[in-house]
Chain A
Amino acid sequence: MLHVLAQAATNPDITPGLTAIGRGIVYGGAAIGPGIGIGLVVGNAISAMSRQPESAGMVRTTMFLGIAFTEALALFGFVLAFIISG
């Protein structure tokens, strides 16, 4: 531990490490909300389809639309993680 700390003190260039941590935090944070959201969308679509199988086509189209709108936020995070550079 002390050895690592001493090395860190003598080698002040920590930018690549911080960049990597930042990328991980950006994508990880951006994926939380859409993960929950897509789960809600698909779960409710499945229960709607099983209650009324005759409306399955309409529900499926709307489900894909909902997934697309929800997923966009996670994808912004994915792109932003690549844009971040040290």
Chain B
Amino acid sequence: MRILAIDFPPISHAVEWKTLFGGDTFGVNKVVLLMWLSVIAVLAFYLVASRKQQLVPVGIQNVAESAIDFIRNGIILQTIGEDGMNYIPFLLTVFSFVFVCNIWEIIPGAQMPVNARIALPFFLTMIVYFQYHIVGFRKQGFFAYWKGILFPPGVPKALYLLVSPIELVTDIFSRPLSLAVRLFANMLAGHLLLITFAVISATLFAIQWQIVILPFSVFLLIALTGFEVLVAFLQAFIFTILTAVYIGGAMHPEH
């Protein structure tokens, strides 16, 4: 695309990477490698943090404990309640993994958020989806759970004609779709934003290096990089808190 004499790459160049090895079916490209690195990073972080446990935490154990504290006080107690403490490991894993996958967006050399491809957000969403439905089946029983979803109490009888189809579509289709698309679209938008301003800065630099200080070029690029750190954290937080809200809703039916 050519806008105002600046050549922007088409979107396929921004998110598609060539297969490094593995053939057509199980081809491994940069995104998959970054995903594997994220798994290793999260695993290594919590293994190292729990290796020498001390009563007064220092260093890396301190960071890990504040992450657990954040999940406990900031997410579980606010949404599920006291009886949701069993979900600390699950929610901590989801939060750490999504955050590390997002933060590749601003790390030099990688600069590709893994969640900017729909595959990983969709897969994570499927895990969350089966998780909270199975929790609902276990806590309330299969038919009572679906009755609670389709016929929420406190609604006039005639309105069930309107409410039940909406609730059915919400629960089966729209919740998982919005959970996956929210994470995916936010990371893709951030990635494209950074690419846009990087291309503008590079073009201006190539024309004449002094004019790179013009507004909407290099300073905005630096500021947006900082903003994307915030977005990466916020999207991991929102994904985790929505998971907790869905689990909490399956555990505690409305009365």
Contact = CB atoms under 8 A, between A and B. Distances in A.
Interface of A: 57-58, 61, 64-65, 67-69, 71-72, 75-76, 78-79, 82
Interface in B226-254: 234, 237-238, 241-242, 245
Interface stretch (B128-136, B143-151, B178-186, B212-220): B178-186
B242 A78 contact: no
B141 interface: no
Contacts of B182: 68, 71-72, 75
A76 B242 CA distance: 18
Nearest to B11: A82
Contacts of A69: 178
Among A68, A76, A78, max chain B CB count under 10 A is at A68
Given A68-B182, A72-B181, A76-B178, 9 more contacts: A57-B78, A61-B79, A61-B241, A64-B234, A64-B238, A64-B241, A65-B242, A76-B185, A78-B185
B10 to A, nearest CB: 11
Contacts of B11: 82
Query: Which 9 A-B pairs have CB atoms at the shortest separation, nearest pair first?
Result: A75-B185, A72-B178, A68-B238, A61-B78, A78-B185, A79-B185, A72-B182, A75-B182, A75-B181
A68 B185 contact: no
B60 to A, nearest CB: 27
A71 B188 CA distance: 15
Interface in B181-196: 181-182, 184-186, 188-189
B74 interface: yes
Nearest to B186: A75
Contacts of B189: 75, 78
B237 A64 contact: yes
Contacts of A78: 185, 188-189
B242 to A, nearest CB: 6
Contacts of B178: 69, 72, 76
B174 to A, nearest CB: 9
Contacts of B74: 61
Contacts of B79: 61
A53 to B, nearest CB: 17
B118 to A, nearest CB: 9
A42 B182 CA distance: 19
Nearest to A72: B178
B186 A65 contact: no
A33 to B, nearest CB: 15
A79 B181 CA distance: 8
A78 B178 CA distance: 13
Contacts of A57: 78
Nearest to B179: A72
Interface string B72-104: 001000110000000000000000000000000
B245 A65 contact: yes
Nearest to A78: B185
Contacts of A75: 181-182, 185-186, 189
Nearest to B237: A64
